[in-house]
Structure 1
Amino acid sequence: MTSWVWSDILQMRLHPKSLCVVNSHSHEGSMNGLESFSQGEVMFKTQLEEVEDRLHFFTEECDYLQGFQLLCDIQGGFSGVGVRMAELLHDEYPGRGILSFGTCPAPPGERDSCKAVYQLMNCILALGPLSSHSSLFCPLSVMSSLGRRTGSLTAFPHLLYDACLQYHSSAVLAMALNTLTVPYRMATSELSMLHFADMLTFGGRKMLSASCSVPFPLLSTMSLPDALLPHLSGAPWLSVSPCTGDTAIFTQSVVLRGISQPRHTSDLPAGTRPPSFLHTCETGEQVLQRYLSSLYPSTLSASYVLGAPCTLGPTFPQFFSPYITKDGFTTEEPQTEPTVVGRTPVLAALQSSSALHQTLRSLCDEASSMDMRRWLNFSTAAVEQDDFREAVDEVRSLAHHYRAREGDESD
């Protein structure tokens, strides 16, 4: 689930081994769909030899292999594919980073009750193994729930997007993901994928949540301290993971991109009293770090400030409000002519958060009341009731790690 469409792929110069087409299942078809976790497992086994061949081909070409970034839909049958792929990478490449991101598309219109049950089961079966076999795992969604009900949908103040349209929601998640992963993708970075994951996941908390502000609200004439000044009581980002509520943040990595070097700090006239403590900082990195320290004084925060904005391709959906310029900056007056936004500043955070406690716990409570034997595809695809209950217990154990205090309600 990315912001790509087939026209993008056709314009790329892809290596013949980059794509693997499976003809035994049809995408969103009424027949031969890939609905269950176990169907994904079976499909992966049939393609295992080809997957290993392609994997070895590309890894042998690497001068320095940091690790792998895994992206899969954890609500569909690809949840089974993702888990087995993570397991393969974990076994074949010990000591390499495996950063997994599980997408959960919002359903268009009224949610089908039968499909919602399958998606709930797929999530339960995928969350534990993906967290176990990955260095870091983060679910991505504009929904606030992993259960049968979607919950609220994330509404960004400067985006006029349809959250239930995958072309739109995947574009939002792509901007967030592209920004969150910058710290270990920069050519000048000394931080590897594995070290990045280790920094965020100590204490057994390998599952993280993500938030972002797209576009980051910034007038074209503003400095970074001026832009952050209205948000001293709360960060401007919104969740792009299925969790909500005021939470405790244990660790976080925050990336702000799209602000040029001269605007990292505030150039005040001599003798002028600084409007805030942010205006006394000497670098953009110091501004962002002090800002995070003021909001989350007990949180270990890593921060990154980059001048380059998030660049949007020609097929990227133009769902921006009239108050956004072609360079992604906000304006006080709406644009009088239609504007094609080609780039934009983005603020994104990857966090170990207590919000995951309630998300996972609610998912387990919902799954515990279900009889999996009622659902044909799961029983015929060799998923036993005991195996499913064991998966529920594993997710419940995960939830335990994210309690904000020992006095929180027991799992």
Structure 2
Amino acid sequence: MAGSTREVVTLQFGHYANFVGTHWWNLQESSFCYDAASSSSPSEINHDVLFREGLTLTGEQTYTPRLIMYDLKGSLNTLKEDGTLYDVLDRDDEVHWMGDVTLHTSETSGKNQFLKDLEKIDKGELPTEEDASSAGTEDSHDEVQETTPHLSTDPLEVFRSKLYNLDGSVSVWSDFLRIHLHPKTVSILSEFAHDPEQDMFDVFSHGQQLLGTQRVSADVEDRLHFFVEDCDSLQGFQMLVDPYNGFGGLAAEVLERMSEDYDNKGILTFGCYPSVFVRRSPIVDYHRLICTVLSVTKLSDNSSLYAPLSVATGLGREPGPVASFPYLSYNPSLHYHTGGILATALDTCTLPYRTRSDAVLMTDLTNTMNYSGRKMAALSARLPFPITLDGSLASSLSQYVAAPDLVSLCPGVREPGRTFMQSVVLRGVPPNRILIPDPAAHADSIFRDCRSANDCLKRYLQHVYPGTLNAGTVVNEPLTVTTPFPHLFHPEIAHDGLVGFKPRSAIQGVEKMPAMTSLSSPSGLQGCLTALHGEVEKVDIRRFHRFLDAGLEEDDFAEAVESLRRLARMYQTSDNEMAEDSDDDSD
């Protein structure tokens, strides 16, 4: 690993957070170039920031994420908790018990076609193109569709080009996990079971209590120390959390310890909310509301920056309608779909501290964003960023000069309002699609004298957000959205992510995608937090005995409600104060 790498350790708490995280790791691995000789230039993205190199017991090189993930019993399906990297067949030291044996079994779903093919590849039995073609002939509910015709003779490339329809065969996040995980990564909380129909891990304090047990406390400390001590120059932590149940409490307690032990490191936390909850009732909805309020206050307090994420528009008891993307169609009830959308935005917005050149430190990013105690941020995105086959970046940006059109992924923030600070990332624009083809015909365009994508983005931000502290990042590499990313793209999106003039072939998937994200500190968060405060201040916590029985004190709940009100006021800034902030930042 290069000595200049500033590593980041990632933690994931909760089932939906692990759906988002699985997509995120798959997206990154799909862009790896394992054969350096076949690449003309190194990747702009420094994958060593989030991944670590290692060796299996047989001396095979591995590349696994610096990742700790927690979930409940029953959430792994066919995945082993300690993975398969260090499996040794026919071990001589196997213990043979000669006494009576009582066999306890639990039902698990079988492996879908994607996992079966992945298992073949791990064994060196690479599936052929004939296998791919024959796999999709059984019935109308096939998990594998036809394969895109191509000239490659590499069986691995044939596998990656297969179009899997996994919508009906993904029930847990491990059903579409493409990468290998380190044995120190997955930890299952056996005290509670994963059951979407009857979630009993729905109390914030249940998570807090778990970290108070010797087993879980020692487990967290052991895994965290392993990955941290493996780093040469740790810059910080990423955290994905389910903030609407007990995982919010567990993550909050872990964060409190981390903020003390690693007080000079950045901690960027994302709260992941599904757009549809299977279990809905007045009491259950109130449980989610209470957990959300406790999580927002605790997680934002001990993080460098906290950003709630969802394609749903509501943060309180009612998730609300879902976000609409011009070129995407998705099923909001499928975690497999919505998690993929959030993951593409996460992979893009975190690029500023993951690039090889001109990278910023996570602490620089978070400290700029949380200026004046504003510890929350909002993420918005344009997925994919639309560029027509005969168009350009400049012409596409021109459409949004009068009215910025990024879709909010922050529940409760529909209109961002005035933006205090923002980090904008633009990625995947083809080099031949940057400038206006005929500048003379666009003499009045603000992009007429731009010479690069950086110039275009800078000019756009200056024009559209004149009173904002803007940081722009341009990365040439697009998102790689091949297998097993869900098929969400409209037919007019070509295989390279550009907007075409005719429908894409039914046997061809989208492989690459340009994208644009903004991680910002907008005044719209005041309305989001004020609405949440308005809901929770009417709650009589004495009516919710499960929270009290789990150790939540009435005074602690009242303090959390008051902290939420104070946090909302952080985003109430007059125009004069905004101007002063802008002047101070420009000095």
With 348-357 and 335-344 compared, the bigger mean Cα shift is at 335-344
Q: Percent identity?
A: 35
Structure 1 Cα separation of the partners of residues 174 and 521 of structure 2: 35
Aligned ranges 1:1-400 → 2 under 5 Å: 1=17, 2-3=19-20, 4=22, 5-9=173-177, 11-28=178-195, 33-46=200-213, 47-108=216-277, 111-242=280-411, 243-245=413-415, 247-268=417-438, 273-400=442-569
Deviations 1:194-220 (A, max 9, x none): 011112221211200010011111113
Structure 1 Cα separation of the partners of residues 548 and 503 of structure 2: 56
Structure 2 Cα separation of the partners of residues 131 and 369 of structure 1: 22
Deviation at 1:309, TM superposition (A): 0.5
Contact 1:38 1:381 in 2 (8 A): yes
Q: Provide the secondary structure at the position in 2 that maps to 1:282.
A: coil
Closer/same/farther in 2, CA of residues 29 and 200 from structure 1, 3 Å limit: closer
Closer/same/farther in 2, CA of residues 129 and 166 from structure 1, 3 Å limit: same
Structure 1 Cα separation of the partners of residues 277 and 204 of structure 2: 22
Structure 2 Cα separation of the partners of residues 406 and 268 of structure 1: 40
Contact 1:70 1:86 in 2 (8 A): no
Structure 1 Cα separation of the partners of residues 219 and 416 of structure 2: 46
Deviations 1:247-298 (A, max 9, x none): 11000000011113343333536x5553511131122112111111111110
Closer/same/farther in 2, CA of residues 29 and 216 from structure 1, 3 Å limit: closer
Structure-1 residue corresponding to 2:48: none
Closer/same/farther in 2, CA of residues 190 and 214 from structure 1, 3 Å limit: closer
Deviation at 1:111, TM superposition (A): 3.6
Deviation at 1:55, TM superposition (A): 0.6
Closer/same/farther in 2, CA of residues 381 and 307 from structure 1, 3 Å limit: same
Deviation at 1:112, TM superposition (A): 2.5
Deviation at 1:110, TM superposition (A): 8.3
Deviation at 1:333, TM superposition (A): 3.0
Letter in 1 for 2:202: E
Q: Provide the secondary structure at the position in 2 that maps to 1:277.
A: coil
Structure 1 Cα separation of the partners of residues 323 and 196 of structure 2: 28
Contact 2:495 2:504 in 1 (8 A): no
Letter in 2 for 1:249: T
Structure 2 Cα separation of the partners of residues 76 and 186 of structure 1: 34
TM-score by length of 1: 0.94
- Give the unaligned 5+ runs of structure 1: none
Number of matched pairs: 406
Structure 2 Cα separation of the partners of residues 306 and 345 of structure 1: 10
Contact 1:208 1:352 in 2 (8 A): yes
Deviation at 1:339, TM superposition (A): 3.2
Closer/same/farther in 2, CA of residues 406 and 82 from structure 1, 3 Å limit: farther
Flag the structure with larger Rg: 2
Structure 1 Cα separation of the partners of residues 186 and 569 of structure 2: 39
TM-score by length of 2: 0.66
- Give the unaligned 5+ runs of structure 2: 1-16, 23-172, 578-587
Deviations 1:49-69 (A, max 9, x none): 111111111111101101000
Structure 2 Cα separation of the partners of residues 30 and 238 of structure 1: 31
Contact 1:137 1:206 in 2 (8 A): yes
Structure 2 Cα separation of the partners of residues 317 and 336 of structure 1: 16
Closer/same/farther in 2, CA of residues 109 and 233 from structure 1, 3 Å limit: farther
With 316-325 and 227-236 compared, the bigger mean Cα shift is at 227-236
Deviation at 1:91, TM superposition (A): 0.9
Contact 1:254 1:302 in 2 (8 A): yes
With 196-205 and 361-370 compared, the bigger mean Cα shift is at 196-205
Q: What's the Cα RMSD here?
A: 2.0
Structure 2 Cα separation of the partners of residues 129 and 195 of structure 1: 22
Structure 2 Cα separation of the partners of residues 324 and 32 of structure 1: 39
Letter in 1 for 2:174: W
Structure 2 Cα separation of the partners of residues 309 and 296 of structure 1: 25
Structure 2 Cα separation of the partners of residues 76 and 338 of structure 1: 41
Letter in 2 for 1:43: L
